[in-house]
Amino acid sequence: MSEKKRESPKNPGGKPPRGGGPRGRGDAANPESGWAAGEGAEAESQLEELQAENAELKDRLLRTMADMENLLRRTEREKADTAKYAISNFARDVLSIGDNIRRAIDAVPEEAIAGDAALKSLLDGVEVTERELVNMLERHGITRIIPKGERFDPNFHQAMLEIENKDMDAGTVAEVVQPGYVIEDRVLRPAMVAVSRGGPKRPKPEEPAEMPRAANDDEPPAKPTRP
C-alpha cells in the first residue's frame, strides 16, 4: 500500500502576502474612512446653517414682538384720544351758538335795560342760558379762554390787531375780540385778541427743560399747555 505524500502548505515559513487580508489594507484602499470624513463635514455645514437660521428667526421674533408692543401702545393712546376728543367737531358747532348768545347780550344798551324791567328780565334769562352753556362745556372738558392781560401766546391766541399802549407791556393781550376754547390739552379754538405795542418788552417766561426720550419710546412729545 503506497503512502500518500503529505502536501506541505504553500509558502511554508514564508511571510504573509503583501497587503494581508482586508485588515491589512491601507486607508487609501478603505472607502469607509473617506465616507466618514465627508459625512462629518456635511453635518458641520448643516449645523452652521441651522444656527444661522435660528439666529435669523430669533431676530425676526424679537422685531415682531417690539412692533406688536408699539402697536398696542399706539392703539391704547388712540383709544384714549378718541374718548377725550371725540366731541371736538360737535363742540365747535356749539361754540357758535354761545357766540351768538354773547352778541345778543352785548347788543342791548344799558340805558334800555335801566328803563325796561321786562327787557332786563329777558336779558337776565339769556345770561343764565350762557352760563349754563359754559358749565355744560366744562363738564365735558372744554374750557373757555379769556386771556386779557396775559402774555400773547401763539399756541392759544390769534392776533387780530395791535393797539398802541405805552402803559402796557408790549406783547400783552389788551383786548379779547372773541374767547377761545381748549378741550383737555388741545386748542379747540384760539382766542382772537388785540395785542399791545409801544410799551416796554415783557420778559419771556422760562421754559422748562425738555425731558430726554428713550431710544425705543415712540410716544409723541407733550403738547403745549397754557402758562
DSSP letter assigned to residue 22: G
* pLDDT score of 163 more than 80: yes
pLDDT digits (tens, 9 = 90+) for 89-130: 889 889 999 999 999 999 999 888 888 899 999 999 999 999
Q: What percent of the chain has pLDDT over 90?
A: 40
**pLDDT value for 30:** 54
Mean of all residue pLDDT scores within the chain: 78
**Cβ within 8 Å of residue 165, ≥6 positions away:** 174, 196, 197, 198, 199
Instruction: Please state, in angstroms and rounded to a whole number, the distance separating the CA atoms of residues 157 and 165.
Output: 19
* pLDDT score of 88 more than 80: yes
C-alpha cell at 58: 430669533
Instruction: Please state, in angstroms and rounded to a whole number, the distance separating the CA atoms of residues 81 and 86.
Output: 8
3-state secondary structure 146-166: CCCCCECCCCCEEEEEEEECC
pTM of the model: 0.57
**pLDDT value for 195:** 94
Alpha helices, H only, the chain? 31-85, 88-106, 110-115, 117-139
Least confident of 2-11, 43-52, 95-104: 2-11
pLDDT digits (tens, 9 = 90+) for 131-153: 999 999 999 889 999 999 999 99
Instruction: Indicate the pLDDT class of residue 81, thresholds 50, 70 and 90.
Output: confident
* pLDDT score of 192 more than 90: yes
**pLDDT value for 69:** 92
